[in-house]
């Protein structure tokens, strides 16, 4: 039997020898091939290769491998092993890098240099001077140590020499002792010592392979430990389950890394240069409600605004959604305050309102505070409504009416407070105030706007009456609520004098009345609360926006709307209702903080309001009514009988020509309660007279009227 030859696959083309190919991993044993051990001819690219012969000990294999790409199945175990190996290598590399850096730092006073650069970057001159001094002292100590090094080396050598000498003398004395006492020969001690040294060398001879192999392993383990301690975990080498940082706890290194990766070059550079890797920028991370709060002192050259503008990126770097990260600007210079919610915590509903759950709810207009909801820390958000006008804005269907109504319902538990309510949607959201409010107007038409305007004008009259009352007179607080106030501002309808109800002109009735109450109503407890959609300059004039004390906004569309709703100060300080999610953050509002406990230095507060549904509101209102004297609500304000201006003029004028500027005063004497005469001027009167066909003369810029002319027009009209 011939010796088995190593199996090779030989490929033959056109009679020429082709290069040998390595064998595939799963080659069938010759016995399995063909029948009964007979081999089939091998095939390559469709060609039959030559048969085995005695001259050619090549084993033919039935393998077709022509022009095929080999697809490798990913093996979980292989991937795992590769990942672990790569991770160990990278971490150990980081460990080496750390050792080298530390050695280099030690040689070059790196810690001092970095601290100096950080202090420079932060603009902290005290710290800068301190570290410069420390660096100088360290350099001096080192210099001294270097100067003393040769002396120290000599001392060590001398000590070693003396030690060896002493040891030899000891051995000689010991040998003498052994010899003199007859215990042994003089050289016995030296032989024992030689034997001991031989044993140690023998052991070393045995152990050196262990040392040669073990030392690199120990160094590798140590480098890996150092890398884990000092290096940054390589996320792409982590298993997917560990790689996902969303929802991970907020640690100082997470915050600093998130800030570093914000894409603000000076911030990244400053953090890189800080000796403590940026930890010095952070205040303590405090638990705050369903999240954590941390103040970050930015290095010089980085503005708070730049960080604020990158809220989304910061949130993503922190492993949170944008709406779960709030950036506000506290009082401290160059500082941002981050509030980072626990993942998903803001999507959990807050509990029901105490208005619903507490059957003994009480309210006090002056000293009480309405339970409106919870702030982001999870503390109860209470708000004082005493002598405060209020404005609440937001996109449609975000919870504006519910938030406004919840405050009114609480205040209704104070029996002294009177309500006059205009709901310019009229879908029944305020219907539970029937028999509680003195006036309740519900509906969206121009007539409803006119009626609501008269309610607000009544407020002006009431305010003026109270202002003129003797000092010390006590009045019940009156709250005039106009929900969907944008309907009034946008109303094109004019009254019989041609004055528009809507708009923002000096003759616009709703606007002017609202302004007057906002100007002077607070002191005499005549208050105006408005709810309005989607603020623009047209549907919410600037003066009216700024006249409200409490300004709150649910989700709005744009930053400019946030500014309209809350004012520049609040938005510049981080208030961002435009970043609330329409639909998802219903009932969450940002308030300018008036009447609430706002953390020091903050210019706004985010409140998740309790939702009191319309049905619950009806129950709460019933409870409030039970505590109050029943009132009969007027559903519409009586329509004042319009007066006939020309007839009134006929009545007040004599026969002589008059200056038109004097006539409004005569008319006011005739009908003091008729509001259109209140602000009437000679020029406006001239315009109305001209329209009616009455001649008005202008001599020397003085408008005059001949009463005979007026009477002629009246006569002609009656004929
Ligand atoms: N505090 C809240 N928490 C959760 N959901 C709320 C809250 N307030 C309101 N909602 C939801 O939002 C819906 C709309 O509320 P509401 O009518 O108060 O909104 P709106 O802004 O006044 O709407 P519109 O401007 O169209 O009148 C409610 O039916 C309720 O489902």
Residue range 46-67, pLDDT digits in tens: 444 444 444 445 555 555 555 5
Query: What pLDDT, on a 0 to 100 scale, did the predictor assign at position 184?
Result: 84
Tokens of 433: 């105030």
Is the model's pLDDT at 627 over the cut of 50?
yes
Q: Within a 13 Å sphere around the CA of 80, how many CA atoms are in the beta-carbon half? A: 3
Give the mutation target among 349, 370, 371, 398 for probing the ligand 1 site: most ligand atoms within 8 A of CB.
398
Please, what's the largest Cα pairwise distance for the chain?
A: 166
- Closest ligand 1 atom to residue 404 Cα is 18
Is the model's pLDDT at 625 over the cut of 90?
yes
For the chain, residues classed under CATH 3.40.50.300 are 354-627
**Domain 354-627 CATH assignment equals 3.40.50.300:** yes
Query: What pLDDT, on a 0 to 100 scale, did the predictor assign at position 236?
Result: 64
Instruction: Tell me the three state secondary structure of residue 16.
Output: strand
Is the model's pLDDT at 433 over the cut of 70?
yes
Is the model's pLDDT at 404 over the cut of 50?
yes
For the chain, residues classed under CATH 3.30.980 are 245-347
Closest CA to 404 of 554, 597, 565, 290: 554
Query: What pLDDT, on a 0 to 100 scale, did the predictor assign at position 182?
Result: 85
Q: Does an H or E element contain 528, and which?
A: strand 526-533
Mean predicted confidence (pLDDT) in 506-511: 91
Mean predicted confidence (pLDDT) in 440-450: 92
- For ligand 1, whether the C-beta of 578 sits within 6 Å is no
Alpha-carbon distance of 155 to 160, in angstroms, equals 9
Within the chain, how many helices (H) and strands (E) appear?
22, 21
Banded pLDDT at 240 (limits 50, 70, 90): low
Tell me which residue has its CA closest to atom 15 in ligand 1: 399
Mean predicted confidence (pLDDT) in 238-263: 75
Compute φ and ψ for 580, nearest 5 degrees.
-70, 150
Q: Which of 268-282, 443-457, 633-647 has the highest mean pLDDT?
A: 443-457
Pick the CATH number of 245-347 from 3.30.1890, 1.10.3470, 3.30.980, 3.30.2000: 3.30.980
Query: What pLDDT, on a 0 to 100 scale, did the predictor assign at position 357?
Result: 93
Query: What pLDDT, on a 0 to 100 scale, did the predictor assign at position 343?
Result: 83
What is the model's pTM?
Answer: 0.59
Alpha-carbon distance of 408 to 429, in angstroms, equals 12
**What phi-psi label fits residue 398: left (phi over 0), alpha (psi between -120 and 50 degrees) or beta?**
alpha
Average pLDDT, the chain: 83
Alpha-carbon distance of 177 to 187, in angstroms, equals 11
Name residue 391's beta-bridge partners.
530, 551
Alpha-carbon distance of 319 to 325, in angstroms, equals 10
**Fold adopted by 645-718:** Arc Repressor Mutant, subunit A (1.10.10)
- For ligand 1, whether the C-beta of 426 sits within 6 Å is no
Q: Does an H or E element contain 316, and which?
A: helix 311-317
Tell me which residue has its CA closest to atom 28 in ligand 1: 399
Query: What pLDDT, on a 0 to 100 scale, did the predictor assign at position 74?
Result: 62
Is the model's pLDDT at 601 over the cut of 80?
no
Q: Report whether 394 belongs to an annotated binding site.
A: yes
Q: Report whether 398 belongs to an annotated binding site.
A: yes
Q: Does an H or E element contain 456, and which?
A: helix 446-468
- CA–centroid distance, 103 to ligand 1, in Å, is 63
Alpha-carbon distance of 323 to 578, in angstroms, equals 10
- CA–centroid distance, 503 to ligand 1, in Å, is 27
| Burial 468-487, CB ≥16 within 10 A → b, else e | eeeeeeeeebbbbbbbbbbb
Alpha-carbon distance of 38 to 33, in angstroms, equals 7
Query: What pLDDT, on a 0 to 100 scale, did the predictor assign at position 581?
Result: 85
Least trusted range by pLDDT, from 58-67, 254-263, 687-696: 58-67
Q: What is the DSSP string of 110-170?
A: HHHHHHHHHHHHHT-HHHHHHHHHHHHHHHHHHHHHHHHHHHHHHHHHHHHHHHHHHHHHH
Helix 265-273 and helix 252-260, axial crossing angle in degrees, nearest 10: 130
Instruction: Tell me the three state secondary structure of residue 649.
Output: helix
- CA–centroid distance, 589 to ligand 1, in Å, is 12
- CA–centroid distance, 551 to ligand 1, in Å, is 18
- Closest ligand 1 atom to residue 533 Cα is 25
Residue in the block written with tokens 């105490």: 354
Alpha-carbon distance of 585 to 582, in angstroms, equals 6
Residue in the block written with tokens 């000891």: 170
- CA–centroid distance, 68 to ligand 1, in Å, is 65
Question: Would you say how long the chain is, in residues?
Answer: 719
Query: What pLDDT, on a 0 to 100 scale, did the predictor assign at position 40?
Result: 44
For the chain, residues classed under CATH 1.10.10 are 645-718
- Closest ligand 1 atom to residue 402 Cα is 18
Banded pLDDT at 547 (limits 50, 70, 90): very high
**How buried is 582 (Cβ within 10 angstroms: 0-12 exposed, 13-18 middle, 19+ buried)?**
middle
- CA–centroid distance, 612 to ligand 1, in Å, is 9
Tell me which residue has its CA closest to atom 16 in ligand 1: 399
Mean predicted confidence (pLDDT) in 71-93: 79
Residue range 107-157, pLDDT digits in tens: 888 888 877 877 776 677 888 888 899 999 999 999 999 999 999 999 999
Name residue 341's beta-bridge partners.
291
Compute φ and ψ for 558, nearest 5 degrees.
-135, 165
Tell me which residue has its CA closest to atom 11 in ligand 1: 399
Q: Report whether 400 belongs to an annotated binding site.
A: yes
Q: Which of 178-187, 331-340, 549-558 has the highest mean pLDDT?
A: 549-558
Q: Report whether 399 belongs to an annotated binding site.
A: yes
Higher pLDDT pick, 347 / 198? 198
- For ligand 1, whether the C-beta of 587 sits within 6 Å is yes
Q: What is the DSSP string of 209-239?
A: HHHHHHHHHHHHHHHHHHHHHHSPP-GGGS-
Residue range 302-335, pLDDT digits in tens: 888 889 889 889 998 998 888 888 888 888 888 9
- For ligand 1, whether the C-beta of 405 sits within 6 Å is no
- For ligand 1, whether the C-beta of 607 sits within 6 Å is no
Tokens of 29: 């044993």
Mean predicted confidence (pLDDT) in 680-691: 85
- Closest ligand 1 atom to residue 398 Cα is 21
Is the model's pLDDT at 510 over the cut of 90?
yes
């Amino acid at each position: 039997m011939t010796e088995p030859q190593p199996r090779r696959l030989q490929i033959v083309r056109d009679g020429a020898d082709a290069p040998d190919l390595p064998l595939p991993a799963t080659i069938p044993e010759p016995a399995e091939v063909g029948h009964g051990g007979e081999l089939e001819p091998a095939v390559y690219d469709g060609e039959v290769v030559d048969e085995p012969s005695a001259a050619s000990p090549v084993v033919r294999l039935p393998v077709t491998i022509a022009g095929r790409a080999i697809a490798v199945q990913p093996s979980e175990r292989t991937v795992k092993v590769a990942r672990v190996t790569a991770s160990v290598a990278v971490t150990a590399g980081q460990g080496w890098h750390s050792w080298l850096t530390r050695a280099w730092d030690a040689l070059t006073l790196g810690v001092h240099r970095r601290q100096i650069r950080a202090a420079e970057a932060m603009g902290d001159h005290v710290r800068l001077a301190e570290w410069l001094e420390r660096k100088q002292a360290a350099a001096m100590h080192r210099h001294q140590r270097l100067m003393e090094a040769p002396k120290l080396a000599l001392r060590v050598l001398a000590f070693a020499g003396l030690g060896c000498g002493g040891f030899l003398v000891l051995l000689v004395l010991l040998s003498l002792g052994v010899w003199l006492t007859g215990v042994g020969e003089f050289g016995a001690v030296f032989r024992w010592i030689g034997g001991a040294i031989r044993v140690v060398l023998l052991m070393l001879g045995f152990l050196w392979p262990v040392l040669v192999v073990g030392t690199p392993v120990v160094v590798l383990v140590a480098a890996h430990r150092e890398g884990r301690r000092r290096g940054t975990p390589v996320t792409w080498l982590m298993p997917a389950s560990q790689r996902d940082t969303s929802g991970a706890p907020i640690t100082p290194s997470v915050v600093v890394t998130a800030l570093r990766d914000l894409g603000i070059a000076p911030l990244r550079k400053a953090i890189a240069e800080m000796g403590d890797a940026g930890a010095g920028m952070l205040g303590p991370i405090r638990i705050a409600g369903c999240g954590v709060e941390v103040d970050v002192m930015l290095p010089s050259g980085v503005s708070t605004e730049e960080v604020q503008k990158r809220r989304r990126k910061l949130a993503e770097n922190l492993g949170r959604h944008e709406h779960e990260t709030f950036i506000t600007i506290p009082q401290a210079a160059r500082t941002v305050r981050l509030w980072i919610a626990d993942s998903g915590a803001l999507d959990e509903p807050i509990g029901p309102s105490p208005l619903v759950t507490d059957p003994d709810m009480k309210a006090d207009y002056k000293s009480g505070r309405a339970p409106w909801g919870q702030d982001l820390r999870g503390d109860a958000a209470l708000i004082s409504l005493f002598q405060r006008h209020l404005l609440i804005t937001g996109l449609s269907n975000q919870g504006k009416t519910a938030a406004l109504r919840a405050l009114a319902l609480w205040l209704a538990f104070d029996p002294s407070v009177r309500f006059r309510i205009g709901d310019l949607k009229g879908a029944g959201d305020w219907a539970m105030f029937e028999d509680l409010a003195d006036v309740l107007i519900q509906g969206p038409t121009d007539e409803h706007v006119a009626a609501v305007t008269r309610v607000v004008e009544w407020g002006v009259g009431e305010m003026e009456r109270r202002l003129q009352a003797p000092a010390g007179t006590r009045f019940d607080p009156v709250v005039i609520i106009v929900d969907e106030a944008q309907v009034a501002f946008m109303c094109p309808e004019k009254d019989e004098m041609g004055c528009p109800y809507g708009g923002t002109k000096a003759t616009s009735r709703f606007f002017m009345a609202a302004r007057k109450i906002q100007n002077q109503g607070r002191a005499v407890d005549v208050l105006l609360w408005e709810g309005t959609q989607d603020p623009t300059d047209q549907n919410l004039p600037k003066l009216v926006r700024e006249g409200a004390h409490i300004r709150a906004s649910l989700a709005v569309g744009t930053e400019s709307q946030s500014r309209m709703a809350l004012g520049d100060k609040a938005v510049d300080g981080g208030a961002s209702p435009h970043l609330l999610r329409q639909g998802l953050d219903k009932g969450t509002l940002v308030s300018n903080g008036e009447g609430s406990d706002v953390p020091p230095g903050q210019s706004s507060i985010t409140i998740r309001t309790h939702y009191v549904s319309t049905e619950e509101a009806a129950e709460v209102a019933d409870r409030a009514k039970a505590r109050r004297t029943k009132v009969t609500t007027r559903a519409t304000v009586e329509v004042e009988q319009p007066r006939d201006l020309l007839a009134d003029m006929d009545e007040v004028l004599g026969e002589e020509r008059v200056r038109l500027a004097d006539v409004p005063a005569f008319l006011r004497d005739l009908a003091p309660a008729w509001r259109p005469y209140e602000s009437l001027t000679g020029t406006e009167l001239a315009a109305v007279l001209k329209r009616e066909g009455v001649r008005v003369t202008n001599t020397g810029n003085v408008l005059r009227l001949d009463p005979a002319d007026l009477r002629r027009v009246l006569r002609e009209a009656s004929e």
